[in-house]
Amino acid sequence: MGLYILISVLILIVCVLMVLVVLVQNSKGGGLASNFASSNQFMGVRKTADFLEKTTWTLALSLLVLSLFSIFVIPKSQGKAETTQSEIQKQIDESKSAPIQDFQAPPAQKK
């Protein structure tokens, strides 16, 4: 159970980081990346765009891997689903064998 919670928290962190990176990327109309690139002369606009694109792909791949790994660590029920299924099946069988009752509408009230 602890590993499942850890994987779930990691997936949430990766999702938030991915949203932030996508919002920072430079779009056709200009984005937040252009503001950061102009103030920082160390990295040019092209290098910033390459870094953000690589970061997006890395986060997307890590999200995919974490999601696939979470399948294997999902807590399994200990036969409870089978019990619930058999109880439902028992109720269905009982309702089939029970006589059908006619229900009458309540009498109309006079105003």
Mean pLDDT, the chain, as a whole number?
Answer: 78
Residue 94 resides in a domain = no
pTM score? 0.55
pLDDT, tens digit, for every residue of 11-26? 999 999 999 999 988 6
Domains in the chain, number: 1
Inside any domain, residue 86: no
The three-state DSSP-derived secondary structure of the chain is CHHHHHHHHHHHHHHHHHHHHHHHCCCCCCCHHHHHHHHCCCCCHHHHHHHHHHHHHHHHHHHHHHHHHHHHHCCCCCCHHHHHHHHHHHHHHHHHHCCCCCCCCCCCCCC
Is residue 32 in a domain?
A: no
Q: Is residue 110 part of a domain?
A: no
Question: What pLDDT shows up at residue 19?
Answer: 94
Whole domain around residue 59: which residue ranges?
1-23+43-72
